[in-house]
Amino acid sequence: MLTINCPWCGPRDETEFGFGGEAHRTRPADPSALSDAEWAEFLFMRTNPKGLHRERWVHSHGCRRWFNVERHTVTNEITRVYQMGSASEAAETAPAAEQAPATAAIEKQGSRS
């Protein structure tokens, strides 16, 4: 069970939270301007990386606030927790998933033991 560091309440067990899928998928301002293919891309397509993944969580049984989490999908290591609305900052500082393959994280973690 993960420990998730809620930006408002501090570290709590995963069972207090709800998962909200991939983060930084903004609802298009004018969906009617989109082609069917573009709308389908928004509706259905997700990156599903093997590596760092930025995702949304909500502290359902706590403060009810949504926030973003950066989690490694292989190790489940949580590398960052940040508030909604700090999307651009996150995009700049977080390495893209393909640049941080699982093996890199494994090596990093391996040196810890």
Partner 1 sequence: MTKAEFRTPTGGRIDRGRPVNFTFNGKALQGYAGDTLASALLANGIHLVGRSFKYHRPRGILSAGSEEPNALIQLERGNRTEPNLRATQIEIYEGLVASSQNAWPNVETDVGSINNVLSKIFVAGFYYKTFMHPQSFWMKVYEPVIRRAAGLGKAPVEPDPDFYDKMHIHCDVLVAGSGPAGLMAALAAAKTGARVVIADEQNEFGGSLLASRETIDGKPAADWVRDTVEELKRFPEVRLLPRTTVTGYYDHNYLIMAERRTDHLPRGLAPKVSRQRLWKVRASQVVLATGAHERPLVFADNDRPGVMLADAARTYANRFGTLPGKRAVVLTNNDSAYQAALDLADAGVAIAAIVDLRTQLGGPLAAQAKQRGIRILTNSAVTATYGAKRVTGVDVMTINGSGESVIGAPTKIDCDLVLMSGGWNPAVHLFSQSTGKLRYDDALACFVPNVSMQAERSAGACKATFTLAGCLAEGAAAGAEAAKAAGHGEGEVPALPSVERTEPQQPIRPLWVVPSTDLVGHGKAKHFVDFQNDVSAADVLLASREGYQSVEHLKRYTTTGMGTDQGKTSNVNALAILAKSLASPIPQVGTTTFRPPYTPTTYGVLAGRDVGELADPARHTPMHSWHVAHNALFEDVGQWKRPWYFPQGSEDLHAAVRRECRAVRSSVGVLDASTLGKIDIQGPDAAQFLNRVYTNAFLKLEIGKCRYGVMCKEDGMVMDDGVTTRLGPNHFLMTTTTGNAAKVLDWLEDYLQTEWPDLRVFLTSVTEHYATASIAGPKAREVVAELAPDLDMSAEAFPYMSYREAVVAGVPARIFRISFTGELSYEINVPAYNGLYVWEQIMRVGAKHGITPYGTETMHVLRAEKGYIIVGQETDATVTPQDLGMGWVVSKQKPDFIGKRSFSREDTSRSDRKQLVGLLTEDPNEVLPEGAQLTATADGHPPIPMIGHVTSSYYSETLGRSIALALVKDGFQRMDQHIFAPLGGKTVKCAVTKPVFYDPEGVRLHG
Specify the amino acid at residue 73: T
CB of 97 to partner 1, least distance (A): 18
State the Cα–Cα distance between residues 96 and 67, nearest whole angstrom.
19
Per-residue exposure over 76-113, b if at least 16 CB sit within 10 Å of its own CB, e if not: eebeebbeeeeeeebeeebeebeebeeeebeeeeeeee
47, 76, 86, 99: which one binds partner 1 (CB under 8 A)? 76
Examine residue 39 and tell whether it contacts partner 1 (CB under 8 A): yes
From the CB of 98, what's the least distance to partner 1, in Å? 21
Q: Decide: is 92 part of the binding site for partner 1 (CB under 8 A).
A: no
The nearest distance, CB 17 to partner 1, in angstroms, is: 11
88 binds partner 1 (CB under 8 A): no
Q: Which of 84, 93, 96, 98 binds partner 1 (CB under 8 A)?
A: 84
**Segment near partner 1 (CB under 8 A), from 45-53, 55-63, 91-99?**
55-63
